[in-house]
Amino acid sequence: KAGVTQTPRYLIKTRGQQVTLSCSPISGHRSVSWYQQTPGQGLQFLFEYFSETQRNKGNFPGRFSGRQFSNSRSEMNVSTLELGDSALYLCASSLVSGSDYEQYFGPGTRLTVT
Amino acid sequence: DAKTTQPPSMDCAEGRAANLPCNHSTISGNEYVYWYRQIHSQGPQYIIHGLKNNETNEMASLIITEDRKSSTLILPHATLRDTAVYYCIVRGPHGSSNTGKLIFGQGTTLQVKP
C-alpha cells in the first residue's frame, strides 16, 4: 500500500507570498493532520481534518489554514509568508480520528521563505 | 495532555539492546503511550503504542510500568540504521477533542555505535 505523499517536496517563496501544500493520505485513511517542524520549536501540531471537517487546531495564526476534500486529500495554505514560516511541513494520516489509531507521516515539504 | 520526560541523548553499541526510558507521571487512565522516531530530515516513523499492557511488534517492545507513570521502549538488536531521535508521546484520551494531535517533546537522540 502506498504511503502518505506530499507535494511539492521543496519550495522556495518570497516574504508576502502565499503557498499551498498538498497531502494525499494512505488509501482508506480518513483523518489527516498537519505539523510544522523548525529547529527552534520542534514538531508542532497545526490542525487535523476528518471527513472534511476541521476537528482540532493548534496555536498558529489565522494565516495558516487547511481543508480536506471528499477523497480525504488535504491541502494547507499559508498566506502572507514570513521568514519564520521556513520549516518542514509534515502531513500524517490515520484510519480514523482516535487515540488508538496510529498516524503515519509523509516525507514532508521543505519550505524556505526568503 | 500529560507531559513526558526523556533523556536528551543515549548511546548504544550495535547489536545490543537499546532501552529508551520515558517518564509520564501525570498520565491519566485512558491516555495512550506512543513512540515515534525520526531519522534526520525524514517524516516521523510510527514504532509502537500501548495503553496498559506491554506490547511487541516487529520493530520494538514497549514496557509500561504497572502504575503507568513510566515506560521503556526496547529495540532488541540495535543497528546503525536505528540512529534517530525517539519521541515518547502521551495521547488522548480516546473520544476527546485532542485525540487527533500528537504533542512532540524534544525526544531522545539515540546514537548507535559500531
**What confidence tens digit (pLDDT) does each residue in A39-82 have?**
989 999 999 999 999 988 999 999 999 999 999 999 999 999 99
Indicate if the pLDDT at residue B1 is higher than 60.
no
The answer to whether residues B25 and B69 touch, using CB atoms and an 8 Å cutoff, is yes
CA distance B83 to A35: 22
Residues of B in contact with A33 (CB under 8 A): 100-102
Do A100 and B46 count as a contact with CB atoms less than 8 A apart? no
- State the nearest Cα–Cα gap between B4 and chain A, in angstroms: 15
Of B31, B92, B101, the CB nearest to A56: B101
**C-alpha cell read off for B4:** 513526558
Do B43 and A50 count as a contact with CB atoms less than 8 A apart? no
- Find the mean pLDDT for residues B79-103: 83
**Greater model confidence, B40 or B99:** B40
pLDDT score at A30: 94
Residues of B in contact with A50 (CB under 8 A): 100
Please report which confidence band the pLDDT of residue B80 belongs to, taking 50, 70 and 90 as the band edges: very high
- State the nearest Cα–Cα gap between A74 and chain B, in angstroms: 15
Do B100 and A100 count as a contact with CB atoms less than 8 A apart? no
Please report which confidence band the pLDDT of residue B97 belongs to, taking 50, 70 and 90 as the band edges: low
CA distance A40 to A43: 9
- Find the mean pLDDT for residues B106-111: 96
From A45, A102, A36, select the one nearest B33 (Cα to Cα).
A102
Please report which confidence band the pLDDT of residue B102 belongs to, taking 50, 70 and 90 as the band edges: confident
**C-alpha cell read off for A110:** 521543505
Indicate if the pLDDT at residue A20 is higher than 80.
yes
B37 Cβ neighbours under 8 A, 6+ residues apart: B44, B45, B47, B82, B84, B85, B86, B87
Using CB atoms within 10 A of its CB, is residue A65 exposed (0-12), middle (13-18) or buried (19+)?
Answer: middle
**Greater model confidence, B2 or A61:** A61
In this prediction, what percent of chain B has a pLDDT beyond 90? Answer: 74
3-state SS class at B80: helix
Whole-angstrom CA distances from A46 to A15, A35, A64, B3 are 20, 5, 8, 19
Q: Which of A40-49, A78-87, A90-99, B92-101 has the lowest mean pLDDT?
A: B92-101
